[in-house]
Chain A
Amino acid sequence: MSQARPGSAEIPIQITINGERRCVELQPWTTLLDLLRHDLALTGTKKGCDHGQCGACTVLIDGRRINSCLQLAVMQDGKAITTIEGIGQGSHLHPLQQAFIERDAFQCGYCTPGQICSGIALIEEGNAVTRDEIRELMSGNICRCGAYPNIVDAIQDVLVQRSGVIREAAE
């Protein structure tokens, strides 16, 4: 073993992951995805391509959906990250997680955490109402099993539930 390569000094950051504040020291080249999967053992976030081409690694950074493989972890200093583990667990599932189960919106399950994170952000963004809009705005998340129609159904279910809730609140 030789000396460390230049620029490999570890950099400390503070980051909130699923509501928990953490201090970590990392190499400057470590991606947020590798930080989650390797260093923090949060393997719910998946690596499908490592190039921002498949969406399997989608997480929420301060509420926005982002491919975690394209983010350097050191850039996340002070930010709040939500991964699938922070979306809902056990009997406390997020409505979209439940809708994915009811609509059979997955098969192998590998793209699913990314689809759900992406879908939650899509709903928050408020830009998708029609099926065509959902399809278009969910196209950054590839599902090789081809569950797309069921994914659109699941998201639409939650959109409808929420618009009902919003209407009720308004009335």
Chain B
Amino acid sequence: MLKNDPHIGSPRNRVDGPAKVTGAATYAAEFAATDLGHGYIVESAIARGLIRSINVAAAEAAPGVIKVFTHENRPQTAWFTYKYRDQVGPPGSPFRPLYSEEIQYSGQPIALVVATSFDAARDAAALVIVEYAEKPHLTDLSIARKDAYKPPKKRLGIAPPPDPRGDAVKAFSEAPVSVSAEYAIAPEHHNPMEPHATTVIWEGDGKITVHDKTQGVQNSQAYVASVFGLSSDNVRVVAPYVGGGFGSGLRPQHQLFLAVMASLALERSVRVELTRQQMFGHVHRPETINAVALGADADGKLVSIQHHAVAATSQFEDHQENVVNWSGMLYHAPNVDLRYELAKLDIYSPGDMRAPGAPLGLFALESAMDELAIAAKIDPIELRLRNYTDHDENDGKVFTSKELRACYREGAERFGWNKRNARPCSMRDGRELIGWGMASGVWEAGMMKTAARGVFTADGRLELSCATSDIGTGTYTILSQIGAETLGLEMEQVTVKLADSTLPASPVQGGSWTAASAGSAVMAACQDLQAQLFKLARKIDGSPFADASDDDIAFVNGRILLRTNPAKSVLLAEALAASGEEKLEAEKSASPGLIGPMRYAAYTHSAVFAEVRIDAELGQIRVTRIVNAVAAGRILNPKTARSQIIGGVVWGIGMALHEETLTDHRLGRIMNHSLAEYHVPANADIYDIDVVFVEEHDDKASPIGVKGLGEIGIVGTAAAIANAIHHATGKRLRSLPITLDKLLAA
């Protein structure tokens, strides 16, 4: 046997599993320190205005209180706005905690109480007395949208809508079949299970170690260094375990600022943990309203696509996402008009949340396609196949790969789509109406420049390191697999270190790019180690490889061996020992390259099929079956990959039926800021989720053929469910979440 059992492509258990099932995995608020100060945040009770006075005397006199920080006594931080920018923030002025008396949103942190215990800090926080000078506020997008504007400055990495193609309005008006409607999605909050927290360990001499809940330790490090004027050598940020991110940990959040500020000022270790209620005071998915108009010929071929979206943002930043561009690249159409606008509200800045933009825009597009299929009397899959495109019509680039046809075919087969009667209300089981719907999904297959280091030691072990995170995605595991496979080791012989700002450079973990990026960097480092080991093995006295080239050898079972004669081999540890060195080291970075992205467009695709059962009288909706067929290039670990898609689908079910941040616009204040009232799917809401990975070969999206899986699972799911609800009931619901009051009123 020449090869090990392949690690890449095999289902492997998570290498961080034992730590997570025993409680040994340590999260940001769980790092211990002597004389730890506990910070508790006081938040503004109004949405807009000024702090007229803030009285902290009673709070400071409370037992255990060390200090109360407000805008009046805040230590000096950076003056210029740009110093508060981070790697992924949008254009605008980032929020600066305790900066001045100005209130920009309800729930804004206006004081930090630091005490010797969490209880004491929380107790004292209630004693802070604030007087406000209120100003009129606006938190209602349905009113603010009349002043919507095209963002004057684009956000880095987010393509603005392409220029219009043809004359979409004229083509629409002349189209024999057409649909036009508005589709809205409620604001949502990420609500990772671990509330945001930062523990700053005061190391002395101005040095701090920061345990932050973040998806990017180097992003947090750069932010802290910039804001507090510290040398980056004095700021180390670590986050080995992150209790869920989903985008909420991409940008530095205010607890990081407050914990570091207090630690530096008090010259002691400080922890700031947000409560679940306070988790509603920061980043969230923006409320978005889409207007979509589709025109087609009698055969269902699209002649016109118009998709205009308006999304909420804060007064101080222009958060932008790709909501509408999907409508110009998923199907072929000669006349296309896409627009994306923002409307300012007195809220905290929205931010990226699992597949930012895509499930919002695709809920609209894929609902409209379903409506078009009904209007044109064509099967929804057939309609999509008739409008299939082999290139990204927004920019003319060819896809690196696109097996969406296979997604439709394999997903439909697994689901039993051919048994569907197209007529709405055609299936019933007792008191339940049954509906089947489908939708397409698409997400970017990104790759970012990332570095990784591999160290091979005399005991035959490999240590891999990279600053990227594992927020639950399985990064530790897939990097172990890549290292083990490349050097022919067992998984147990590989250790992976992540999420420490001192490790080789990595961008934030987001955008589904980590597997492709960190994976390619690790592969490059391991290939360099292969070359070094081979060179050493050739130098050994009597080496079997004297005349061998790279192509003649393989790394198997801890050895280098000759492919033609596997009996001739050298132990890796032997090759290293002969060199007299204790270890070999390689640090390599992987980049997307310059030519590829100019010529090709890289996307993952999916076809989502949903079955709903709806109580005919009560309107209660259950999603009893989902099949999600995904084309995402090479699958490194089918076990963790399946989990990623299941998780995305659960999020799609939440978006379709449950999740909605409700604001009392009279107060400009979120009303349901708890997990009892902000509903996320519970176990009983989730039935069968079947994940299909269709075969897709891609040698251009990334060096290791990977396209990423973190986001694609959610995209399309809400639309498929809404389409199934229509099929079950004949009612078209165009506002998410589809709660039973909306269904019964329709």
Smallest CB separation, A109 vs chain B (Å)? 3
B633 within 8 A of A: no
Binds B, one of A9-17, A144-152, A157-165: A144-152
A124 interface residue (CB < 8 Å to B)? no
- Picked from A49, A110, A146, A148, the residue with its CB within 8 Å of the CB of B27 is A110
Cα A69 to Cα B16 with chains together (Å): 27
Contact yes or no, A101 B18, CB < 8 A: yes
Interface residues of B in 240-265 (CB under 8 A from A): 241-246
Complex contacts, A2 vs chain B, CB 8 Å = 61-63
- Which residue of the partner chain B has the closest CB to A114? B193
Are A108 and B646 neighbours in the complex by a CB distance under 8 Å?
A: no
Among A30, A42, A110, A146, contact of B647 (Cβ-Cβ < 8 Å): A146
Name the residue among A4, A42, A90, A107 with the largest chain B CB count within 10 angstroms: A107
What B residues does A78 contact at CB under 8 A?
none
- CB of A68 within 8 A of chain B? no
Give chain A residues whose Cβ lies under 8 Å from the Cβ of B195: 47-48
CB proximity to B under 8 Å, residues A81-138: 83-85, 87-90, 93, 97-98, 100-102, 104, 106-113, 116, 134-136, 138
Question: Given the complex of chains A and B, what is the CA–CA distance between A149 and B244 in angstroms?
Answer: 18
Q: CA–CA, A72 to B90, complex, Å? A: 44
B675 touches A43 (CB 8 A): no
Q: Are A150 and B63 in contact (CB under 8 A)?
A: no
Q: Is B275 an interface residue (CB 8 A)?
A: yes
Beta-carbon contact of B647 and A49 below 8 Å: no
Roughly how many angstroms separate A46 CA and B674 CA in the complex, as a whole number?
Answer: 17
Which residues of chain B from 701 to 721 have any CB-CB distance to chain A below 8 Å in the complex?
none
Known: A54-B675, A139-B682, A146-B651. A109 touches B241 (CB 8 A): yes
Within the complex, the shortest CB–CB distance from B529 to chain A, in Å, comes to 29
- Report yes or no: B643 in contact with A104, Cβ–Cβ below 8 A: yes
* A7-48 vs B, Cβ < 8 Å mask (1 yes, 0 no): 010000000000000000001011000100110011111111
Asked if A110 and B243 sit within 8 Å, CB to CB, the answer is yes
A109 contacts which of B61, B191, B243, B680 (Cβ < 8 Å)?
B243
Beta-carbon contact of A27 and B472 below 8 Å: no
Taking the complex as formed, is A142 at the interface, i.e. its CB lies under 8 A from any CB of chain B? Answer: yes
Q: In the complex, what's the smallest C-beta–C-beta distance from A86 to chain B, in angstroms?
A: 9
- Flag the segment in B116-124, B318-326, B397-405, B421-429 that touches A: B116-124
Chain A residue at minimal CB-CB distance from B17: A101
B650 contacts A146, CB within 8 Å? yes
Docked-complex contact A146 and B686, CB < 8 angstroms: yes
Q: Which residue, A37, A48, A56, A152, has most C-beta atoms of chain B within 10 A?
A: A48
A143: interface (CB < 8 Å) = yes
Flag whether B64 is at the interface (Cβ < 8 A).
yes
* Chain A CB within 8 A of B649 CB: yes
Judge whether A34 and B246 touch: CB under 8 Å: no
Interface string of B487-522 (1 = CB under 8 A from A): 000000000000000000000000000000000000
What residues of B have a CB within 8 angstroms of the CB of A136 in the complex? 683-684
Pick the contact of B244: A3, A53, A93, A144 (CB < 8 A). Answer: A144
Report whether over half of chain A's contact residues are helix, strand or loop; otherwise say mixed.
Answer: loop
Give the residues in chain A near B724, CB-CB below 8 Å: none
The chain A residue with its CB closest to the CB of B637 is A104
B630 at the interface (CB under 8 A from A): no
Q: Please state if A144 and B680 are interface contacts (CB–CB under 8 Å).
A: yes
- Residue pair A51, B646 in contact (C-beta under 8 Å): no
Our pick among B19, B20, B644, B674 for the contact of A53 (Cβ within 8 Å) is B674
> Are B675's CB and A97's CB within 8 A?
no
Known: A101-B13, A109-B472. A46 touches B194 (CB 8 A): yes
Chain A residues with Cβ under 8 A from B650's Cβ? 146, 148
Contact, CB under 8 Å: B683 / A145: no
CB proximity of A52 to chain B, nearest CB, Å: 8
Residues of chain A with a CB closer than 8 A to B61's CB = 1-2
B192 close to A51 (CB less than 8 A)? no
B-side interface mostly: loop
- B16 touching A109 by the CB < 8 A rule? yes
Q: Is the CB of B243 within 8 A of A46?
A: yes
Contact A149 B18 (CB under 8 A): no
Q: In the complex, how many residues of chain B place their beta carbon closer than 8 angstroms to a beta carbon of chain A?
A: 68
Once the chains are docked, how many angstroms separate the CA of A112 from the CA of B118? Answer: 24
Task: Please judge, given known A-B contacts A109-B243, A135-B683, A139-B684, whether A104 and B62 are in contact too, CB under 8 Å.
Answer: no
Q: In the complex, A136 Cα to B682 Cα: how many Å? A: 9
Return B17 CB to nearest CB of chain A, in Å.
4
B676 within 8 A of A: yes
**Chain A, Cβ-Cβ closest to B649:** A146
Taking a contact as CB atoms under 8 Å apart, the answer to whether A34 and B23 are in contact is no
Cβ–Cβ < 8 Å partners of B647 in chain A = 107, 145-147
> Which residues of B have CB within 8 Å of A116?
21
Q: In the assembled complex, which residues on chain A have CB atoms less than 8 Å from the CB atom of B688?
A: 149
Is B21 touching A93 in the complex (CB atoms < 8 A)? Answer: yes
**A46/B193 in contact, CB under 8 A:** yes
Most B C-beta atoms less than 10 A away, residue of A4, A42, A104, A149: A104
The winner among B194, B245, B649 for most chain A CB atoms within 10 A is: B194
Q: How far is the CA of A86 from the CA of B590 in the complex (A)?
A: 43
Given the complex, which residues of A lie within 8 Å of B683, measured CB to CB?
A: 134-136, 138-139, 141, 143, 148, 151-152
Min C-beta distance of B118 to chain A, whole Å = 6
- Given A139-B682, A142-B680, A146-B648, also A49-B22 (CB < 8 A): no
CA distance A112 to B331 in the complex (A): 42
B244 touches A150 (CB 8 A): no
Q: A48-B276, A104-B640 are in contact. Are A1 and B23 (CB under 8 A)?
A: no
Q: Are A149 and B22 in contact (CB under 8 A)?
A: no
Cα(A2)–Cα(B120), bound, Å: 12
Judged by a CB distance under 8 angstroms, whether B689 is at the interface is yes
Which residues of B are found within 8 Å of A88, using beta-carbon distances? 21-22
Question: Is B26 in the interface zone, CB < 8 Å from A?
Answer: yes
Q: Are B684 and A108 in contact (CB under 8 A)?
A: no
CB distance from A3 to the nearest CB of B (A): 7
Supposing A1-B61, A34-B118, A142-B680 touch, asked if A108 and B23 sit within 8 A by C-beta, the answer is no
Partner of A8, one of B63, B244, B646: B63
Asked if B14 is at the interface (CB within 8 A of a chain A CB), the reply is yes
A5→B123 contact, CB < 8 A: yes
B13 to chain A: which residues have CB within 8 Å?
101-102, 104
Q: Are A93 and B18 in contact (CB under 8 A)?
A: yes
Contact, CB under 8 Å: B675 / A112: no
* Segment 663-704 of B: residues with Cβ below 8 Å from A: 674-676, 680-689
Bound complex: CA of A146 vs CA of B473, how far in Å? 12
**For residue A3, which residues in chain B have a CB less than 8 angstroms away from its CB?**
63
Report B-chain residues with C-beta under 8 Å of the C-beta of A139. 682-685
Specify the chain B residue showing the minimal Cβ separation from A96: B21
CA–CA, A84 to B27, complex, Å? 15
Chain A interface (Cβ within 8 Å of chain B)? 1-5, 8, 27, 29-30, 34, 37-38, 41-51, 53-54, 56, 83-85, 87-90, 93, 97-98, 100-102, 104, 106-113, 116, 134-136, 138-139, 141-152
> What would 26 A/B residue contacts be, using CB atoms closer than 8 Å?
A1-B64, A5-B123, A29-B119, A43-B27, A44-B22, A50-B276, A53-B675, A89-B22, A93-B21, A93-B22, A101-B13, A108-B194, A108-B244, A109-B241, A112-B20, A112-B21, A113-B21, A141-B683, A144-B193, A144-B246, A145-B643, A146-B646, A146-B651, A150-B646, A151-B683, A152-B683
When A and B form their complex, which 7 residue pairs have the shortest distance between CB atoms, in order from nearest? A44-B23, A146-B650, A110-B243, A108-B472, A109-B20, A107-B472, A84-B23
- B-side residues, CB < 8 A to A, are 13-14, 16-27, 29-30, 32, 61-65, 117-119, 123, 191-195, 241-246, 273, 275-276, 471-474, 639-640, 642-644, 646-651, 674-676, 680-689
